[in-house]
């Protein structure tokens, strides 16, 4: 499974400094199905990071919140 086309559009149109939050279960389903999500497998996190770069987005996983975040980088801040 891969992210839905709607997520592609979200990241394409994501305003600067606004995040798109994805819970751990979806990170695992979208980026490394069957690898486990407690915590997400390193393969899922690496695939999520690569996916974000396709849309010029950064990605960071927050284990304490059990979610990953995509956002557009702001060079001047």
The pLDDT tens digits of the residues spanning 12-54 come to 999 998 999 999 999 999 998 877 667 889 999 999 999 999 9
pTM to 2 decimal places: 0.89
Q: What is the pLDDT of residue 77?
A: 58
| 48: nearest Cα among 65, 32, 64 | 32
**pLDDT for 71 beyond 90:** yes
Contacts of 38 (CB under 8 A, 6+ apart): 24
* CA pair distance 57, 30, nearest whole angstrom: 17
């Amino acid at each position: 499974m891969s992210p839905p086309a709607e997520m592609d559009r979200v990241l394409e149109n994501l305003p600067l400094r606004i995040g798109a939050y994805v819970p751990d279960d979806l990170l695992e389903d979208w980026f490394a199905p069957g690898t486990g999500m407690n915590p997400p497998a390193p393969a899922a996190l690496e695939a999520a990071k690569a996916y974000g770069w396709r849309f010029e987005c950064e990605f960071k996983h927050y284990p304490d919140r059990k979610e990953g975040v995509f956002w557009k980088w702001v060079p001047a801040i």
